[in-house]
Chain A
Amino acid sequence: MSSAEIATLPESEGFRIRWGELAPFIALGVIILLGTMINSNFMSANNILNVITRSAFIAIIGVGATFVIATGGLDLSIGSMLAFVVGIMIMAMNALAPSLGPWAIPIGALVALVVGSLCGLMNGLIVTLGRIEPFIVTLGTMGIFRALITYMTDCGSLSIDRSLRTAYRPVYFGDFLGVPYPVIITLVIALLGAFILYRTKYGRRVTAVGSNSDVARFSGVHVGRVRTMAFVIQGFCVAVAAICYVPRLGAATPTTGQLWELQVITAVVIGGTLLRGGKAHIWGTVAGALILEVIANVMVLSDMVSEYLVAAVQGAIIIIAMLAHRFTSSR
C-alpha cells in the first residue's frame, strides 16, 4: 500500500491539496443543491441576496479571526466587542448629528475603526506582554465588553438618531449595480486579507508563528509583534462589521452580537483554517460564513424538521462537513 502511494506522491500531492482547499466550496455547493431541491423559493434572487448579505457580518469578522487563529491564538471577545463598538459608534454619531448633519456618519465610522483597532490592540498586548493564554484573556474582555454595552444601553436599546437613519440605511440595504454594499465590503476586506496573508512578509510570518512559534523566533521573527498585529486586524474587521451592522436595525441592545464568536470560529474552521494555527484560508472562511447562513436559511425554508430540532440538524451538518473535509484533505 505504502509503496504504491509513495510512487505517485508528487503528482497526487498537487491534486490532493487542491481538493482540500476546495472542500468548503464543495460543501457549500452540496448544501445549496439541497436547498434548491427542498424549496423552489430558495434560488429566488431575493432569497439568495438576503442570505449573502446577512452572512457579511460573520464573513468580515471571520477574515480577522483567520489571522488570529492562524497565529495560534483565539479571540472569544469578538461578539461582545462588536456590540461595544456599535454602541460607541451610535453614541458618537448621535452626539455629532446636530452640528455635522449627515457628515456624522463617516466620522462615526472612523471613530468605530479606531475604537475597534484599539480594542484588538488591548487584547493583543495583554496576550503577548502579559503572557496569558488568549482563551482566558479574551474570555475576560468578552465579559468586559458585554457589561459595557449593557451599561451604555441601560439594558434597553441605544438607537441611532432618526435624522441619520435614512441617510445611513443604504449601507446595508442599498446596492451597486445589483450587488448589495455589505457584499462589496466583504469582498474588499477578503481581498485585502488574502493579499496581506499570501503576498506580504507579514502574512508569511503569521503562518510561521502559528505552525511553530519557537522556530519562528529562532529565525528572527518578532513573535509577540506578529500576534499583537493579528489581534489589531481582528479589531479592525469587527469595526468594519459594525459599520455594516448599524444601518440594518439602527440600534444596539445588550444581546447584539451574542454568541457570534462561536459562529465566526465555526466559519473559520469549516473554511479549512487549522484551529491550532499554522494554516489559513481567507476564502474558505468566507465560504464557511456562507455555509452557516445557508444552512439556517434552508432549515427555515424546509418543513421537514420540528422547530425544536433545528439546532441539532445544524450541528450535525457542520460535523458532517468537517468530516468530509478531513477525508478529502488528509488521505
Chain B
Amino acid sequence: MKLRTKGAALLSAAIVAGALTGAAAQAQDKEYTIAVSIPAATHGWTGGVVYHAQEAEKQIEAAYPNIDVIVSTASSATAQVASLEDLSATNELDALVILPFTSEELTGPVEQVASNGTFITVVDRGLSDPSIQDLYVAGDNIAVGANTAKWLVEKLGGKGEIVVLRGIPTVIDDERIKGFQDVIDQSDIKILDIQYANWNQDEAFTLMQDYLGKYPNIDAVWANDDDMLLGVIEAVDQAGRGDIKYMLGGNGMKQVIEMVKAGDERTPISTPYPPSMIASAMYMTAAQFAGQAPMRGSFKLDAPLITPENADQFYFPDSPF
C-alpha cells in the first residue's frame, strides 16, 4: 500500500515534470500569482467553498512550484471590493479567480483588475458584463430543480401531492424553484404549498410541522437544500407520518450523501450544486499558466442525480459541508 502510493506520487511527479520540461526554460523561471477571492464562511455552502479553495491552494502549489495562490475571504460585497483593491495593489496578479458576492457591485472593481492584463475567472455568480471574464465556471441551478423534478415525476407516476420549501429570496432560489416548477407543471402532480424557510434547519422543521398539520396527505417533500432537508426529516419522523414517500433536498451535503450511500428509502437521491466548483475553477486557471492548456470560455457543471452508485464521487468526508 505504502509502496503503491509512493509509486503513484513518483509517477505523478514525473508527469508534472514532463509537462513542464517543454516550456521549462521560461516557465520555471517565471513565477505566477493567482489570487482567489471568495465569500467568508457564513453558512454550510460557503464553508464548503472556503474548505475546497484552501485544499486546492495546497494541491496546486505542491504540483506547480512556480505558481503562488493567494486565497482571500470577504464577509460582504463592500469588503470584497476592498480586498480586491488590496490584492491588486500589493501583488502583480497574473490571474484572479472570483466568486462575486453580488453581480452589480463587483463588476466595476473586477473590470479594474482586468484592465491590468490579469486573467479573470468568474465562479458561480456572473458579472453584469460577461465580456470582462476570460473563464466562467458555474453550477446549474435550473438543472438542480429540473433534474429532481424529473426523478420525482417518474417515481410518483406523474401524479400526487407535494410540498416545497424555499430558501432565501435570491436569484439562486428563484432559478431552482423555476426549474422544478416547470417540470412539475407538465405532470398531474399538485404543489400543495410553497413557503420560505431561509435555508435554515430550524425554520424548515417548523414549516414542515405546519405543512403536516395543514395537509392530511403529502406524497413527497422537496426541501431544495440539504440543510433544510435535515429539519424536514426530523419533523416528519416526530409526526410519524407514513404517507410521505420521498423527502428530497439538493446541494450534496455530506450527511445527506451518507444517507444516499446507505440506500435510504425516502431520500435515495440528491442533486449537486457543489462548493468544490471553486476548486475546478482554480485548477483550470492554473492549467492556463502551467499546463499550456487554453482555458477561455464558459464551463457549466452539470447537476446529475447523486445515486447510491455514484455517491462516492460526491463524498468528501473531511469537508465541513
Contact = CB atoms under 8 A, between A and B. Distances in A.
A310 B199 CA distance: 17
A156 B196 contact: no
A206 to B, nearest CB: 31
Contacts of A41: 213-214
Given A154-B47, A154-B320, A307-B166, A256 B206 contact: no
Contacts of A44: 213
Contacts of B41: 150, 155, 254
Nearest to A155: B47
Given A249-B201, A249-B202, A249-B234, A156 B214 contact: no
Contacts of A154: 47, 51, 320
B44 to A, nearest CB: 6
Band of interface residues on B:
35 or more
Interface string B31-42: 000000000011
B102 interface: no
A157 B211 contact: no
B169 interface: yes
B214 to A, nearest CB: 5
Interface in A32-63: 39, 41-42, 44, 46-47, 50, 54
B230 A156 contact: no
Contact of B239 (A46, A156, A250, A300): A46
Given A47-B213, A249-B234, A155 B42 contact: yes
Interface string B96-130: 00000000000000000000000000000000000
A251 B201 contact: yes
B237 to A, nearest CB: 9
A300 to B, nearest CB: 4
A103 interface: no
Contacts of B46: 155
A156 B50 contact: no
Contacts of B207: 300
Kindly state the interface size class of chain A when it binds its partner. Answer: 20 to 34
B209 A54 contact: yes
B209 A50 contact: yes
Contacts of A39: 214
A258 B255 contact: no
Nearest to A39: B214
A156 B254 contact: yes
A31 B209 CA distance: 19
A150 B51 CA distance: 13
Contact of A307 (B43, B194, B210): B194
B210 A301 contact: yes
A309 B47 CA distance: 30
A254 B42 contact: yes
A255 interface: yes
Given A155-B41, A253-B43, A310-B195, A54 B206 contact: yes
Given A39-B214, A249-B201, A307-B194, A156 B42 contact: no
B72 interface: no
A248 interface: yes
A174 B158 CA distance: 38
Q: Most B CB atoms within 10 A — which of A153, A155, A173, A248?
A: A155
Interface string A297-331: 10011000001101000000000000000000000
A296 interface: yes
B231 interface: yes
B205 interface: yes
Contacts of A248: 202, 205, 234
B230 A249 contact: yes
A165 to B, nearest CB: 11
A42 B209 CA distance: 12
A155 B39 CA distance: 12
Given A41-B213, A249-B201, A254-B42, A156 B194 contact: no
A301 to B, nearest CB: 5
Given A155-B50, A296-B206, A300-B195, A255 B200 contact: yes
Given A156-B321, A253-B227, A310-B196, A300 B210 contact: yes
Contacts of B166: 307
Contact of A297 (B193, B194, B210, B234): B210
Contacts of B214: 39, 41, 300-301
Contacts of A173: 238
Contacts of A253: 43-44, 201, 227
Interface in B177-231: 193-196, 199-202, 205-207, 209-211, 213-214, 227, 230-231
Contacts of B238: 173
A44 B195 CA distance: 22
Nearest to B216: A41
Nearest to B210: A300
Contacts of B44: 155-157, 253-254
Interface of B: 41-44, 46-48, 50-51, 166, 169, 193-196, 199-202, 205-207, 209-211, 213-214, 227, 230-231, 234, 238-239, 254-255, 319-321
20 contacts: A50-B210, A54-B209, A150-B47, A154-B320, A155-B48, A156-B319, A248-B234, A249-B201, A249-B230, A253-B201, A254-B42, A254-B44, A256-B202, A296-B206, A297-B210, A300-B211, A300-B214, A301-B213, A307-B195, A310-B195
Given A50-B210, A255-B201, 20 more contacts: A39-B214, A41-B214, A42-B213, A46-B213, A47-B210, A150-B41, A150-B47, A153-B47, A154-B47, A154-B51, A155-B48, A155-B50, A156-B321, A254-B47, A255-B43, A258-B200, A296-B206, A300-B193, A300-B214, A307-B166
